[in-house]
Amino acid sequence: MNLATFHDLLDAARRQPEPQRLLFVFARVELPEHATDAQRERFDRREGGTISPCLCVDKAPDEIAGFDALAAESETTGQAWDIVFVGSLSGRAGVAPSADEAAQPLRFMVNAINNGRVGDFAAFDRQGDALQFG
């Protein structure tokens, strides 16, 4: 599925045959602790850095008015972020997954991101535009 914007993601989630629960991991892009000059240059060009998860939340697609609302809600936490990664859980027999069912998959997402497996998830910048990782 090709997603260009966050709106595309919400549309796709709402069209699924089973109700969805969206999983969000907000992350900062930081300069590595003992960065080399080359790493600093790449970071300054916004082409490198370390991705550090800082905030997680799960929501039903209908609980999200749009990217601006999600970003505004994240601001109330006081956590600065650069990228939001999104995964989803599919319901069964017309019943959406609960927030309790989302806890362990959110932990798995955080671990995957910490281990560099960011390509497993949809990712969006602070403007809601899709990001691609090479």
Secondary structure (DSSP) of the chain: ---SBHHHHHHHHHHSSS-EEEEEEEEEEE--TT--HHHHHHHHTTS--EEEEEEEEEE-GGG---HHHHHHHHHTTT---SEEEEEEEE-BTTBPPPHHHHHHHHHHHHHHHHTT-GGGSEEE-TTSBB----
Question: What's the pTM?
Answer: 0.90
Give the pLDDT mean for 2-16. Answer: 90
Q: Does the pLDDT value for residue 1 go beyond 60?
A: no
pLDDT in tens, 32-68: 788 888 888 888 887 778 899 999 999 999 999 999 9
